[in-house]
Amino acid sequence: MLGRINHIAIAVPDIGKASDAYRDTLGAAVSQRQALPEHGVTVVFVELPNTKVELLEPLGETSPIAAFLAKNPDGGMHHICYEVDDILVARDRLVAAGARVLGNGDPKIGAHGKPVLFLHPKDFFGTLIELEQL
């Protein structure tokens, strides 16, 4: 069911400083900032030869990233995103197996313009998993 890793997401308190560090210190290509109000985040993508790193900054006080940063003020790994061929088939298979899909279970459109879902971290050994349809 799982395809390749699409990205690894890191929550950061200052997306500008984090972008500068990846671009200027590590020499990586960094995308422009993108606000995603439906998800409560501002993101940039660090482009790597084999995957991407998504830097997440809270967009508003109710952002789930704000809650994450309250517990982890320096930031840290937030989630890992895997690609799936059909997000609805994947969702139904996971729910039938007992996994919990966050939210109402309906996919939302993610930063790449494709449907995404998040799976409860308690079902996957403390790791928040995002699924993104190809």
Name the residue with tokens 């996957």. Answer: 124
Distance, CA of 30 to CA of 38 (rounded, Å): 22
Q: Which of 36, 37, 20 is nearest to 28 (CA)?
A: 20
Token digits of residue 33? 């900032």
Q: Which of 54, 57, 83, 130 is catalytic?
A: 130
End-to-end Cα distance, the chain: 12
Active site residue 130: yes
Chain Cα centroid distance, residue 112: 11
Residue 65's contacts (CB-CB under 8 Å, 6 or more residues apart) are 11, 40, 41, 56, 57, 58, 59, 78
Which residues are part of the catalytic machinery?
130
